[in-house]
Structure 1
């Protein structure tokens, strides 16, 4: 998520939905101009109350198994073929068709270019497996493959609606950043279903998470439960309670040899209406450690400015209305937890935009092949080698772009351009 946000900002996008589709699952996250965090998650049905990036995961990936349930309905996932035996087309003993098999049979994956040509795929084995599934569905293998992709897309679409529409955000106002080994295969169809007009595919989508390690700051989280009525608080009283937490954060970063000039502290408060059993994290602001260390008194004065009670109350009501569709400004509000995120800024790689070299991308075409898109028709489609594309190049769909770590499908009605950072900016219409 951090790498996707970094790449998106370089390309001029601040409001993004990250779409990370791998072999077993898909992770999605919504960033309305900032990385959102949560302290309310569950693992295996058990609550997990630790600060973390707000990511929603569903069991849909390239290795998700396709089958008919007892009622005869097509199901895809959450069971996965994993790496062993993997999809049927891997030739490692798999017998149940997967999303990868479906994409291969539809021509969206190239057997010749998979993993940069280092791994061969058995197209006929995938075709036979989907043919058997089609027989059970009383249709042919191509129709079955389209059904597998559509069901997987529907699962991922619901995941994105969960983090957007159900939380008061309109996905049409966001850019989708697609990565993971399978993300760019499905991104445009998924974006079209959500009426998202722009998809950004990073230069190396299959290994984007590695970049995340290079652009991430050191962080530690601190909190203190206070259970105080907001109406009875003053900015000075809140500042007094925040100060020990701030000092703990500074000490933690200093213990990791982070210079004071590189330490900052983000403040937030978990708030709720009295009687509720859940809280909303309300951002307060950020302060620099160097303003806290030499003069605690002046630091408290700065905090008093941030901790305006009326402003915090209004912000809470706004967030409550956005997430749940209503707010009750006349109801008493209480502060449950005070939170501080200590941040140690790290050196990050510098990326420089390259000069555009013209729109013609024909030199990157490696072959033409038949591909089946959402309309079910076979279409002769150009395949481009991403390594041969240059900033400024434009590609009109239908098209498929292949590279070692991912495949990008550009359906009819979509157009891609290569920006100065070698990212693909794909737009509809």
Structure 2
């Protein structure tokens, strides 16, 4: 069976595929109005038969929230709790902005309904479910042409009876719905409500998207990447769409982790620069997971790889603001119209600046399949240079410097601001635009090594093929210090583990092939935040250790609590095999050298060698200034840097290797 990884980006949709014993890569311009068209168009171009499996990372759920283009959604909750979703917590994203206005709610006040029913803190029914009132609410939903409903009752994670009853009535009325005890079986009603609303809001659109692809792609199986670094079946993704919100960036993090580990690097900072945005993550001997994120100011409490995103990419638009300062992004030219050099764009972008300075080779873009247009660049940069009294080259270098500074700040957020020293990590660069900025960015942060894998512009799609099949489960248990014992905790895991085996079987994984991982959310009594602790024999000692690591202190004499239990079920599908490339010497072979061209670095023009990356061999060394060309990306080695090819074809760059 052929296998395909597909990652939908803002500018390009990336494909990696195995046909027979050979692997191939392909990039297709994205179709933002209907992302499925780029997916289907690419599949038709690269596949010759209908016996194939696809693992897909999609931005559909993310864009539905950011652009407010999800379903017409209603919320049903307990009477007098209708506004919990809007009130939220007391923390604000812009505390000192006197003119701050909240973004529009996903569910307006007119579509938030309260129902007479109540479960108490012990999971006991103290007010019965009012079926007559529930049917009256459903009539109002139909009148308002509601497309999806979020149902969130208090303490449903202890006793979901009322939510199940409401779900049965909605199913009878043929209205799609999400039940909070299934989406997030944890306490804190605001976060549970928000996560359930987000799921209800994006699921209908995700369902239409996946259904359309499955009806037209003709393959055997479609799997969807999750934000937690694992994949799930298409059916599960349609029901639990909230788990796919950061699926594309998660694929990149998984791919970077697996390749870096094979190359001997266990401490890396990932740098994924695409056409629209840049994603960064810090990996210290593992994938960093967070149990709660915020999407467009809405809490989403599902496991995600901890990724920080900034609006700086190859398509980011440069402009002069009212104060006469040069700015870059966050607005992007995307795939249509794209940068000026794509032929239709009118605004200068980061990609245009790289081309203007000679850091791209017009005839070799996408392996020569797409020629870049340089005709309009001189005029466009000339017009901008007059506005700020700089030369055209200074404007172009200024654009790159502003973009690099934005990306530097993003890396500082995940490293310096969390107590990590970037100099102790290697920068793992990928994405279509990453290779042009990686060394300059590493120098800003004093990072000594940069790693660039083979096919860096396709790495997120590659990572999707490396991802395990993962299902995450959680349950609030609230065990006080005196009730914490192995026997008690083990008994709480039993029903969750049984559910995990059943659902993994539906995903095609037999019980004996399922790997179970268990975790606890723990805290000191009186605290309102928890720490994720692996569940093993010394879990209490591990909690104290992690607390000191995170907050600088611990108190082994203070009572602790186990708030939530978490279980991860993991299946291991067949993955791409890393193959070593042919061994060479330090000197590159003549067929790898393609010539040279003038490139501007720091105001000076350097005659810069051009190299065909696919002709490089293990052990080859290239000193900057140089440009390495390949299908999915262009890699720039500035003066005084040096790259060596390792056994697996990765470029390991010494950022100050030529000094």
Q: TM-score, normalised by structure 2?
A: 0.59
Tell me the distance in 2 between the aligned counterparts of 1:69 and 1:228: 56
2:313 to 55, 61, 73: 61
Contact kept, 8 Å, 1:225 with 1:336, in 2: the verdict is yes
Tell me which residue corresponds to 2:475: 224
Tell me which residue corresponds to 2:644: 417
1:327 paired to 2:557: no
Contact kept, 8 Å, 2:311 with 2:331, in 1: the verdict is yes
Tell me the distance in 1 between the aligned counterparts of 2:361 and 2:483: 65
Tell me the distance in 1 between the aligned counterparts of 2:626 and 2:527: 52
Tell me which residue corresponds to 2:281: 29
CA displacement 1:14-58 (0-9 Å, x = unmatched): 111111110000111111111111121111111111111111111
CA displacement 1:285-340 (0-9 Å, x = unmatched): xxxxxxxxxxxxxxxxxxxxx1435323323313423xxxx334265543322111
Describe how 1:216-295 pairs up with structure 2 within 5 A: 216-230=467-481, 232-284=483-535
2:623 to 377, 393, 396: 396
In terms of mean alpha carbon deviation, does 54-63 or 326-335 score higher? 326-335
Describe how 1:141-160 pairs up with structure 2 within 5 A: 141-160=392-411
In terms of mean alpha carbon deviation, does 235-244 or 140-149 score higher? 235-244
SS in 1 for 2:594: strand
Tell me which residue corresponds to 1:308: 538
Cα pair distance change 1:142/1:333, threshold 3 Å: farther
Contact kept, 8 Å, 2:612 with 2:628, in 1: the verdict is yes
Cα pair distance change 1:282/1:74, threshold 3 Å: farther
In terms of mean alpha carbon deviation, does 352-361 or 83-92 score higher? 352-361
Contact kept, 8 Å, 1:235 with 1:308, in 2: the verdict is no
SS in 2 for 1:153: helix
Shift of 1:251: 2.3
Tell me which residue corresponds to 1:379: 606
Tell me the distance in 2 between the aligned counterparts of 1:261 and 1:232: 32
Tell me the distance in 1 between the aligned counterparts of 2:550 and 2:451: 31
SS in 1 for 2:270: strand
Tell me the distance in 1 between the aligned counterparts of 2:620 and 2:291: 43
Tell me which residue corresponds to 1:408: 635
Residues paired across the two proteins, number: 402
SS in 2 for 1:311: helix
Tell me the distance in 2 between the aligned counterparts of 1:372 and 1:91: 23
1:181 paired to 2:407: no
Gaps of 5+ in 1: 285-305
Cα pair distance change 1:274/1:148, threshold 3 Å: farther
SS in 1 for 2:515: strand
Describe how 1:85-164 pairs up with structure 2 within 5 A: 85-92=337-344, 94-164=345-415
Tell me which residue corresponds to 1:301: none
CA displacement 1:50-101 (0-9 Å, x = unmatched): 1111111110000000112222222111100111111111111x22110001
SS in 2 for 1:123: coil
Shift of 1:244: 2.4
CA displacement 1:134-165 (0-9 Å, x = unmatched): 21121011101111101111111111111111
Higher relative contact order (CA 8 A, sep 6+): 1
Contact kept, 8 Å, 1:63 with 1:98, in 2: the verdict is yes
Tell me which residue corresponds to 1:204: 455
Tell me the distance in 2 between the aligned counterparts of 1:107 and 1:332: 63
Shift of 1:283: 2.8
Shift of 1:230: 4.4
SS in 2 for 1:147: helix
SS in 2 for 1:391: coil
Tell me the distance in 2 between the aligned counterparts of 1:412 and 1:230: 60
SS in 2 for 1:78: strand
RMSD: 1.8
Shift of 1:379: 0.8
Tell me which residue corresponds to 1:356: 583
Tell me which residue corresponds to 2:158: none
Contact kept, 8 Å, 2:357 with 2:599, in 1: the verdict is yes
Structure showing greater Rg: 2
Gaps of 5+ in 2: 1-252
SS in 1 for 2:376: helix
SS in 1 for 2:547: helix
